[in-house]
Structure 1
């Protein structure tokens, strides 16, 4: 799964956390911004309630069920900046990627 494929799946499913702004920061690979207020998905580098920093390959492994998000967090492969409660709601986002 490539960055563009992930971005398109998010856009097609309008995958957001209602009322919250979440940014996935894949470093040099790009960013995905989920705007739960505007119900929109983009590749903007905007200010978010929660920013998830993870390498693209680790994110893909999580999306495919090969890497547990909690294990990734504990191993330092996934970092959360901002509202941890929003991060906990992202399991539904990952499920939509698999679907």
Structure 2
């Protein structure tokens, strides 16, 4: 999945479960997706919570092929900022 495809899937989740906070998925040199004002933007913007994850692992996470807790424990996901916001992502990914 490309970042644009991942963002489109996240947008469907945001349409069902709006998010008031700003969360960014930082995929390093592959780019970023920022969830802001009810939109999934393929832009690197300031956020209250930043999730550092490779594009490959983000694609697996969105597809349900990567357990977020296990990925965090194995260092495949790193979170900076407000950790409690990362916990809200289950509603978007579900």
Partner of 2:76: 77
Q: Which runs of 5 or more residues in structure 2 are unaligned?
A: none
Partner of 1:8: 8
Q: Which runs of 5 or more residues in structure 1 are unaligned?
A: none
Distance 1:27 1:7 in 2: 16
When normalised by structure 1's length, the TM-score is 0.82
Moved over 6 A (4+): none
The count of residues paired between Structure 1 and Structure 2 equals 92
C-alpha deviation, 1:2, in angstroms? 1.7
* CA RMSD in angstroms, aligned pairs only: 1.6
Distance 2:13 2:91 in 1: 12
Partner of 2:92: 93
Greater helix content: 2
**Residues 13-38 of structure 1: per-residue CA shift (max 9 Å, x gap):** 26275220000111111111101xx2
